[in-house]
Amino acid sequence: MAGSELTNVRSPRVKAARRLTKRAFREQDRRFLAEGPQAVREALKLDGVTLELFSTAEAELRHPELITEATLKGVPVHRASGEVMSELSQTVTPQGLLAVCRLLHVPLEEGLKGKPRLVAMLAHVRDPGNAGTVLRAADAAGADTVVFTDASVDPYNGKCVRASAGSLFHLPVVIGAPVGVAVRQLRERGLRVLAADGAGKHTLDDVDLSGPTAWIFGNEAWGLPEEILAEADDVVRVPIYGQAESLNLATAAAVCLYSSARAQRVP
């Protein structure tokens, strides 16, 4: 434990962490906040990612293994009062553990190196909770990389980090790539680029998904714009067998990604 308990919400250390709740400061400081035991556990698994850890006394008692792990790794652990933790937390019920991490994303070229077989691309996705849930589903489905295009939400947004349930730390994430550039690079690497959209001519059931595939997922409310649909090799919709108008973004993405995962594995 480095020093005594932080109780002053205006201390420089607390203010330096607090400002990371804003995107502009995250970009400037090249850091973000990862909240809760699950995120902290995953962050600590990666060398050099966790820069500082804030913990309440209660959380220390509940998760001694994380405090030990951080200490062993030379990560400064700051004991924080409940008030300080509330100041830093972006949740209604703070879980008492919060890591300051260095940004994780990689350039597009690096994200697509090797022979990626399944890539998820988020274009114009605005809701951070949805983005995090798609990231989690992409990780679960064994995707090699997730690309957040230039018009999508920041994956380091607290809600996105939380919804990703640790997956932000599991696979390469690319940020800010223009859709056109990403699509070209994916295609050059032999991936078929499919846009998931309710207006698709084909359904998931009648496309062959056994080859390397990149999926583009669009905005929650209005799907994908024409120019992106035009960039894709095909526009594919999840078939609706009942009366629902559509699926929500994250469930549609999970169904698409798992269809690919299955087709690539099950003969």
The footprint of a second copy (CB under 8 A) covers 38, 133, 136-143, 163, 165-167, 170-171, 204-205, 238-248, 250-255, 258-259, 261-262, 265-266
Q: How far is the CB of 204 from a second copy (least distance, A)?
A: 8
Residues 6+ apart with CB under 8 A from 60: 67, 79
**CB of 186 or CB of 254, closer to a second copy:** 254
Q: Give the residue with the Cβ less far from a second copy, 27 or 220.
A: 220
Q: For residue 46, give both structure tokens.
A: 């990666």
Nearer CB in complex with a second copy: 4/243: 243
Using the minimum distance from each CB to a second copy, give the nearer residue, 9 or 255: 255
| Nearest distance, CB of residue 78 and a second copy, angstroms | 27
Question: For a second copy, which is the closer residue by CB, 44 or 261?
Answer: 261
Give me the count of residues in the chain: 267
CB of 58 to a second copy, least distance (A): 19
- Minimum separation from the CB atom of position 65 to a second copy (A): 16
Q: Least separation, in Å, of the C-beta of 176 and a second copy?
A: 23
Contact 17, 100 (CB under 8 A): yes
